[in-house]
Structure 1
Amino acid sequence: MDVQGIDQLAERLASLVPPGLAQARQDLHANFKDILAQGLRRLDLVTREEFDVQSQVLARTRERLESLEKRVASLEAGATPSGQ
């Protein structure tokens, strides 16, 4: 959830406060926003962009690993004495 999403959620929560308590509504909005932001930080989340980058790195790593496994298997097959 981005900053704008947190702000929107905090606003929705604050809107539940009766209109006669305008000052309390503003204070609650600020408090809700801070509490939501702190809670999300504790979850140790990553952005979608960071996730996509890491997914691409993992895919390339898997491809490289498969290529190296085939190469090792080929080298092992060539090094095996023909009598065995």
Structure 2
Amino acid sequence: MKPSELFQDLQTKISDLLKNSPVKDIEQNIKTMLTQGFAKLDLVTREEFEIQTQVLARTRAMVEELAQRITQLERELNATKTN
């Protein structure tokens, strides 16, 4: 038997062994359990998180702008009261 045939045969046997191994079943069971566990959590995708981050940034900017406008209006109101 040639060395290349030996390695090919060995590779085939190892692949067959791994396919029929309980490790594959355990791996599948762990993936299933993790998927079910994550499904129960209230998680969001990275895309949803980034969108909400942008919305929050715009909202903060608007609040800061409104606060400045209120401050300006209060100054104008106080200026008209003193005149």
TM-score, normalised to structure 1's length? 0.64
SS across alignment from 2:82: coil
Q: 2:48 aligns with which of 42, 47, 50?
A: 50
SS across alignment from 2:42: coil
Fraction of identical pairs, as percent = 43
Q: 1:32 aligns with which of 30, 33, 36?
A: 30
Higher relative contact order (CA 8 A, sep 6+): 1
**Superposed displacement of residue 66, structure 1:** 0.3
Please tell me the root mean square deviation across aligned C-alpha atoms, in Å: 2.2
SS across alignment from 2:57: helix
SS across alignment from 2:24: helix
Q: Which moved more, 1:24-33 or 1:52-61?
A: 24-33
Return 5+ residue gaps in structure 2 as ranges.
Answer: 1-16
Q: Which has the higher helix share?
A: 2
Please identify runs of 4+ aligned residues in structure 1 that moved more than 6 A: none
Matched pairs, number: 65
**CA gap 1:65/1:24 in 2 versus in 1, 3 angstroms:** same
Return 5+ residue gaps in structure 1 as ranges.
Answer: 1-18
Q: Deviations over 1:11-69 (max 9, x none)?
A: xxxxxxxx578253332232111111112223322111111100000000000000000
Q: Distance in 2 between matches of 1:75 and 1:35?
A: 59
**CA gap 1:21/1:57 in 2 versus in 1, 3 angstroms:** closer
TM-score, normalised to structure 2's length? 0.64
Give the greater-gyration-radius structure (CA). Answer: 2
